[in-house]
Amino acid sequence: MHTTMLSTSPLRAYLLAAPFIVALAACSPLPPSTPATAPATITQAPPAEPAPPAAPAAGALAIDSANSLIAVTVRRGGVLARLGHDHVVAARTITGTVTPTDNRAQFQFRLDQMTVDEPALRQVAGLEKQPSPEAVAGTRTNMLTRVLDADRYPLVTVRAERIADDQPLGVAITLHGVTRAYQIPVVFAREGNTLTVSGTVDLKQTDFGLVPFSVMGGAMAVEDRMELRFTVVAK
């Protein structure tokens, strides 16, 4: 845990759920991201609130939530795709730590604190028409209740580790009770005591046990692929 949505009919309201099967901030027609180079591993997590993060290690930097962003673009599909919309879902309340001495990081964000279709993020993603406030509110509600089951799985957690400077970042993402492991190329920048890590990656809804929404035999559907971009700042 990036289709919408005809705002007056029951079908339209139901379709609001589809586009926001996330998990995690997207943008401009994103440049093609490098696919995972290592086999992903899946482990089923119990449907319980995750344990609080461990105490920060010595030398750890705190995630700067005000300047960190995870944005996900989810796109419509099917032969009737023109009747829907693409969407951007964003996480801005990211908490956690980065430990440069160990080349490790751990952080999390709550699904119920994610934003839906911020105009500026839609513009960066190349999405032209802004959905109405009512459509955005309906989409957000359906995303949390019908798709992501946010009451049962409220958090997305991420653990990352880099073996060497010239290697991709090993990242384990837990969403909807499922953990997937990826190798993601990233860009590191260090300025004083501030560390910034950024990159893009494509994920699949089905990787996390989520079923891409479709109606009318797939004539209107949500693409399995989620385009994710992130900037995580720690200081």
Domain of 154?
Answer: 10-234
Q: Is 145 a member of any domain?
A: yes
Which among 173, 172, 168 is positioned nearest to 184, based on CA atoms?
168
The answer to the question of residue 4 being in a domain is: no
Q: Is residue 2 part of a domain?
A: no
CATH code of the domain containing 91: 2.40.128.110
Phi, psi of 133 (to 5 degrees): -55, -35
Calculate mean pLDDT across residues 23-51.
40
Is residue 198 very low, low, confident or very high in pLDDT (cuts 50, 70, 90)? very high
CB 228 within 8 A of CB 203: yes
Q: What pLDDT does residue 84 have?
A: 66
Q: How much is the average pLDDT of 174-194?
A: 95
Average pLDDT over residues 58-81: 87
**Alpha-carbon radius of gyration of the chain:** 17
Tokens of 70: 């995870």
Give the residue with greater pLDDT, 94 vs 12. 94
pLDDT digits (tens, 9 = 90+) for 127-179: 988 989 998 998 788 788 877 889 999 999 999 999 888 889 999 999 999 99
Residue 5 lies in a domain: no
- Could you give the CA distance from residue 64 to residue 166 in angstroms, rounded to a whole number? 25
In a domain, residue 1? The reply is no
Question: pTM higher than 0.85 for the full model?
Answer: no
As for how many domains the chain has, the answer is: 1
Residue 196 lies in a domain: yes
> Mean pLDDT for the chain?
78
Give the integer Cα–Cα distance in Å for 30 and 50: 31
Say if residues 103 and 114 touch (Cβ distance below 8 Å): no
Q: What is the pLDDT of residue 47?
A: 45
